Chain A
Amino acid sequence: MRTIGTLAALAVALPPVAATGQSMTPMRGEVRSFTDAFAVRVFPGNPYDQRIRVEVHVYDQDFQPIDARITPSVFLLAGQASRPVLVVVPFDGASERKVRICTESIPFPSEQTQIRAQICGKFFGHRRS
């Protein structure tokens, strides 16, 4: 519980600016954490007038998935809206970790050639002892 509180506090320390029409903000960030994980709060946005299904994924520098805690990881987002998503990334024993947090959506599914829009932010976590 205490760890979660600390992580949440660290997430708030980032300067997120939730603006309608942004697909994800912020897209860059550096976080210092005193725990075995670091947290980032991102704001996926829906630039369309229609509701879309949004997924948030976390990858390493080689685009391999990372087992991070994403809350929520899949959700429906109303048109022209944005919402906060909390991502908690474990250091996995390392003293620092670079990750990509990606917001993905396929706004027009069920067509022959679909385009998946993916907005990725780069985040750098440092572990302080």
Chain B
Amino acid sequence: MKSFRAATAASLLAACAGQTASAATGNVLFNGTITATCTITINSNGTMTVSANLQSLSSHNAGGSAGSAQVDTTGGVTLSVDPVTSTTVPASDTTATTWTPTFATSGAQTIAETGTATALTVPGTSTVAVNLDGTKSGSNRFSAGNYQATVTLRCE
């Protein structure tokens, strides 16, 4: 009797051995959308110095320094500077000044110095140098005192 049971179990096992487990497979899809992002981090403001002929007050002049900012982006954005509208000048300066802001980038994307809006197409971190030139024409000169100007660096 015992040997009969063993033989039955063995035959059942043998019958099942050739069967594969019934399994189904499916693909799980993952989608992700990254919209344009942009972060501006101002590292330092700039400094302007006056030229020998007193007709240029600029961060390009000797002793002056550009402002510095870091831009982190996915790309697909535009970097620009606005015309300068907000300035503080000494009371003794009553003549007109033409302000010209420019920027240049290095790092993930290199942009030569420009005042024109430029597309940032390369994702990553770029360092932006922001310069500002103030010029006077004719016989007009910069005078002693404190000058202050605000440059708007825009990423959109």
Contacts and interface: CB of A to CB of B under 8 A. Distances in A.
B59 interface: yes
> Is the interface on chain A under 10, 10 to 19, 20 to 34, or 35 or more residues?
20 to 34
Interface residues of B, number: 32
B150 interface: yes
**Chain B CB within 10 A, most for which of A23, A100, A104, A122:** A23
B152 A118 contact: yes
B59 A113 contact: yes
A109 to B, nearest CB: 9
The secondary-structure label for the interface of chain B is: strand
Consensus secondary structure, chain A interface: strand
Contact of B154 (A21, A112, A113, A118): A118
Interface of A: 21-28, 45, 47-48, 100, 102, 104, 106-108, 111-122
Nearest to A26: B35
A115 B48 contact: no
Interface of B: 35-42, 44-48, 59, 67, 69, 72, 77, 82, 130, 132, 146-156
A113 B44 CA distance: 10
Given A112-B46, A117-B41, 13 more contacts: A45-B39, A106-B150, A111-B45, A113-B48, A113-B130, A114-B148, A115-B130, A115-B152, A117-B40, A117-B42, A118-B153, A119-B155, A119-B156
